[in-house]
Amino acid sequence: MKLILTLSLICTRFYSVEMLQCFNCTDAACTNSSLVTCPALNERCLTATRTIKGPDNTTVVLKMCSPSSICVTPLNTEVTVSGNLGIIRASSNQLCCNTNGCNNETLSAPSSLANGRQCTSYSSFQGFVHNSTVACLGVEDQCLSFSGNVLGSINYMVNLQGCTSTNVCNYIDQLLPSRYINFVQFTCNTAPLPVTVTKAHNTACSIRLSLVPLLLGLTISKLI
């Protein structure tokens, strides 16, 4: 009995010690944020500055608690995650960390300068087809090719090609938004050697960089 009590006390202590506190934006523009205690399953603090260029151009600052399944990039490291289909580009500077208040910093917006590379820009879904080339911007140094089935009330095939950052290709095992997309294939080509990663359907893993569903979601929801 004493042992159980001691153990449960230790557990309670650990539990309270491990409740992470992160800055959380108090307004849409994130001009102000406050320190909040994160829900139990949120083990990361995230700060991100995202730009979306497409039908609308927007820059959004995000500061929040995040599950580690979404904050997959290395801790305490600012990284740029970017995808560019030509018709829409979503790019994010983001930092994930796991100590109290570590996401206070407001990151700069990611670079939008052309870097000299170019990829096929291809989008096709539900009768919409776009086929041209796109200039890669900032850290985008890979040409991606993606196909999958979008899951919803109506399932349909989507094929996308464009520029992306290497980390999207590297994290692809964790990028599958399987709740929304039934992955068919994902290829990244860095000259001179192409690398193909083919994923099985219906993986249980729903870990993803937040950019990918954003990009796909925007593509799917805004352009149809």
Ligand X SMILES: *[C@@H]1O[C@H](CO)[C@@H](O)[C@H](O)[C@H]1NC(C)=O
Residues in 176-215 at the binding interface with ligand X, rule: CB under 6 A: none
Q: How far is the CB of 88 from ligand X (least distance, A)?
A: 10
Residues in 62-81 at the binding interface with ligand X, rule: CB under 6 A: 65
Q: Contact region for ligand X (CB under 6 A) — 7-15, 19-27, 179-187, 199-207?
A: 19-27
Max distance between CA atoms of the chain, in angstroms, equals 71
Q: How far is the CB of 141 from ligand X (least distance, A)?
A: 20
Q: How far is the CB of 35 from ligand X (least distance, A)?
A: 7
Q: How far is the CB of 49 from ligand X (least distance, A)?
A: 14
Q: Contact region for ligand X (CB under 6 A) — 31-39, 76-84, 181-189, 199-207?
A: 31-39
> Which residue of 8, 12, 131, 196 would you call a contact of ligand X, by CB under 6 A?
131
**Residue 26 contacts ligand X per CB under 6 A:** yes
User: Of the candidates 124, 108, 203, which has an alpha carbon nearest to the alpha carbon of residue 160?
Assistant: 124
- Would you call 78 exposed, middle or buried from its count of C-beta atoms within 10 A (0-12, 13-18, 19+)? middle
> Which residue of 30, 38, 45, 181 would you call a contact of ligand X, by CB under 6 A?
38
CA distance 171 to 81: 11
Please give the structure tokens belonging to residue 49.
């500055």
Beta-carbon contacts of 10 under 8 Å, excluding residues fewer than 6 positions away, are: none
Residues in 95-124 at the binding interface with ligand X, rule: CB under 6 A: 101, 104, 122
**Residue 130 contacts ligand X per CB under 6 A:** no
> Which residue of 16, 32, 155, 198 would you call a contact of ligand X, by CB under 6 A?
32
Q: How far is the CB of 111 from ligand X (least distance, A)?
A: 12
**Residue 133 contacts ligand X per CB under 6 A:** no
Q: Tell whether the torsion through CA atoms of 39, 41, 45 and 46 is positive or negative.
A: negative
> What phi and psi, each to the nearest 5 degrees, are found at residue 10?
-60, -45
Q: Residue 198's beta-bridge partner residues?
A: none
Output the DSSP codes for 53-77: ESSS-EEEEEEEEE-TTT--SPBT-
Q: Which is nearer to ligand X, 38 or 215 (CB)?
A: 38
Q: Which residue has the tokens 């205690």?
A: 37
Please give the structure tokens belonging to residue 207.
């870990």
Give kind and range of the element (H or E) at residue 84: strand 79-84
Residues that bind ligand X (CB under 6 A): 24-26, 32, 34, 36, 38, 53, 56-57, 65, 101, 104, 122, 131
